[in-house]
Amino acid sequence: MSITPTTTKRRAFYVDQTMTNDFDQFVAALVDEDEAGYTPTSYTLGTDFDAAKKQVAAMNEQCGLTPADALAIVASSFAAHNRING
């Protein structure tokens, strides 16, 4: 019998200034730990970027992530992207 440990990758919400919809509203994305890229969500965050960042921080906090956790998840995704794309 073989026991395989379960691994659960963490996810964090993320927004940057390029993530807008056709109405110039910022849209939150989900980033998976150690995976390149992101998945857009249906969460619109308004047109003020500073307010959008605060909303994303609150969403991550509701998910039990500290700001350092969220930053580490996003950084790991960027690193995965760089490994793939050199």
Query: Mean pLDDT for each consecutive 10-residue tract of the chain (86 residues)?
Result: 66 97 97 95 97 98 97 95 82
Determine phi and psi for 56, rounding to 5 degrees: -65, -40
- Among residues 8, 13, 9, the alpha carbon closest in space to that of 71 is found at 13
Q: pTM for the complete prediction?
A: 0.86
Residue 57: alpha-carbon gap to chain centroid? 10
pLDDT of residue 84: 86
pLDDT of residue 43: 95
**Cα–Cα distance, 22 to 18 (Å, whole number):** 12
- Among residues 61, 23, 19, the alpha carbon closest in space to that of 41 is found at 19
pLDDT of residue 8: 83
Cα distances from 37 to residues 1, 23, 34, in angstroms, run 36, 23, 10
pLDDT of residue 4: 56
